[in-house]
Amino acid sequence: MRGSPSFLPSDSMEFGSALWMLASYLSLAALFVLLAWGIYYDITRTYVPTDIQQYAKLRFFNFLSKYAVGLGMAYERLGICQRYTVWRIMFNGIPLLKKSSALIIKDLLFDDVPVRVYWPKTSSSGNRRGMIYLHGGVGLFGSIKAYERVNRYISRRSDSVVVCVGFRLAPENPFPLPVLDCCTATIHFLKNATKYGVDPNRIAVCGDSSGGTFAAAVCQHLATKKDLPKLRAQLLIYPFLQAVDFNLPSYQQNHSIPVLFKKRAIKWGATYLTGRIVNVDGLMKNAHVPQDLQVKYKKWVSADHIPDEFKARGYVPLEPAPFCEELYESCKEGFHPMFSPLLAEEDVIRQLPETFLLTCEYDVVRDDGLLYKKRLEDNGVPVTWHHVKDGFHGILFLIDFGPLEFKCTRQHFRYVINFLKCL
C-alpha cells in the first residue's frame, strides 16, 4: 500500500553490514587496549636485569607467557574451556614438522605410559647409553610434543637413545600420579634396555624445572631397589626441590624476574600438589610450616647453607608468618620427598648416582639447586655443577627454535651434552 513503511532487503543488508563493521572496529580497539595494558603491566610489574643477554627477547617471551595465562583464564570464565587447555596448546609452541634425517623416532607405551623414543641412525659397536627425559611445566602442562626439539638435540649431539615420558598431568591427575608414571616408565626402560639397543648400566634420568623435580624423585625412589640396574646418573636442570622455605635468597631476589615469578611458581606448584587452585598468600610467607618441621628441616633448608656470594643482591632474613593449621593440612603432602626431594633422608641421599646440576642466577629456584648440591656432596655423591651467571629459568627450552633461540642457550646446553657423553 502507498504510504506504508517498507524495509527493503538492501536496507537490511546495509544495516547488518554497518553493525558488523562497528563490532569489528570495537573488537580491534579492545585488542589494542588489551595489548597496551599488557605492555604497561609487563613494564611496571616485571624486572629484567640488564646484564641478561637479549634483554628485549626475554621481555617478549614474558609478555607471550602472560598473554597465554590471561587468555586461559578468560576462556575458562567464559565457559569455553579450562585454562589448562589453553596453556598446554600455547606451551606446545610451533610444531616441528620436518622429519629428522639423523634419528629414528617412535611413539611407544612403557607399561601403559606413553613415551617417544629417539634412536641415532649412525651405527654403534655396542649398546648405547640411554636417557629418560622428564619435561617441565609444573606438572600442569608441557608434553612430548613441546619438548621435541630438546630431545632430538640431546639424542643427536650425545649419540644416545632418549626416551621422553608423556606422564599424566594435573589438576586432572594431581601429585603423586605424574611422578609415579615417570617411575613406571623408567623401571620399564631399565628392565628392557637391551631391547632398545641400550646398555642397562648406562642409563641416566634428566629433567628441567619440575621435570628436574621428577628426575630427582625417580632416582630416590629407585635408589634402594635391589632388583634393578642402578641408574648411572641424574641430570637436574634448574629443578624445584623443596616446599619448606619460599623466602630463601633466590625467592626474594628473583620474585619478579621472568619467566617464573615467585607467586606464579608457588600457585602452580600448589595446584599440581592438590588438584585445585589454592590461595598462596600464606604459603609465600611460610605459614604452612609448623614449628617442629621448621626445626627438623633447617639442617637441610636454610639460607645459612647458601654461600654469601648468592646473598649479595639485597637478601634480608624474614621471620615466617604465624602458623596456619588449615594451610598445613591442605598442603602437607608437599613435605613428601617425592614432591620435595631435598627432604629425603640421609640413607637415600647417599645412594644416589653421579649428578649434573645446572642453576641460573636469576631464577627463584636457584637456591634449591645450591642446597641439593651441598646435601649430595656432604653424602659423598659426585656433583658436576654448572651455574649460568646471567641465566634465567627456562633458558634451555628454546634450543633449535631458530631466531627464537637465545644466543647463550647452545653454549650452556653444551655442558649437559658433555656430561652425558662421559657416562
Instruction: Catalogue the active-site residues.
Output: 209, 363, 393
Nearest CA among 415, 349, 343, 342 for reference residue 381 = 349
Q: What is the CA radius of gyration of the chain?
A: 24
Distance (Å, whole) CA 199 – CA 56: 44
- For residue 115, what are the β-bridge partners? 108, 165
In Å, how far are 23, 260, 272, 361, 367 from 247, measured between CA atoms? Answer: 48, 15, 20, 16, 10
How many other C-beta atoms lie within 10 A of the C-beta of residue 312?
9
Q: Within 13 Å, how many C-alpha atoms sit on residue 14's CB side?
A: 5
C-beta of residue 395 within 8 angstroms of C-beta of residue 132: no
Angle at 49 between CA 48 and CA 50, to 5 degrees: 110
Distance (Å, whole) CA 410 – CA 168: 30
Distance (Å, whole) CA 35 – CA 3: 52
Q: What is the signed CA dihedral for 143, 146, 149, 151, rounded to 10 degrees?
A: -10
Burial letters 23-46, b for 16+ CB under 10 A, else e: eeeeeeeeeeeeeeeeeeebeeeb
Angle at 147 between CA 86 and CA 388, to 5 degrees: 105
C-beta of residue 139 within 8 angstroms of C-beta of residue 178: yes
Grid-cell match 603432602, residue found: 333
